[in-house]
Amino acid sequence: SQQGEEDPQALSIQEGENATMNCSYKTSINNLQWYRQNSGRGLVHLILIRSNEREKHSGRLRVTLDTSKKSSSLLITASRAADTASYFCATDRGGGFKTIFGAGTRLFVKA
Interface residue list for other proteins (CB under 8 A)? 2, 30-31, 33, 40-45, 48, 88, 90, 92, 95-104
- Long-range CB contact pairs, 57-64, < 8 A, 24+: 61/34, 63/32, 63/34
Q: How far is the CB of 24 from other proteins (least distance, A)?
A: 15
Nearer to other proteins, 49 or 76 (CB): 49
**Closest listed residue to residue 49, CA positions, set 69, 26, 29:** 29
Q: How far is the CB of 14 from other proteins (least distance, A)?
A: 27
Q: How far is the CB of 34 from other proteins (least distance, A)?
A: 10
**Closest listed residue to residue 48, CA positions, set 9, 92, 5:** 92
Q: How far is the CB of 95 from other proteins (least distance, A)?
A: 6
Nearer to other proteins, 40 or 59 (CB): 40
CA distances from 93 to 4, 28, 29, 46, 88 (A): 10, 6, 5, 19, 15
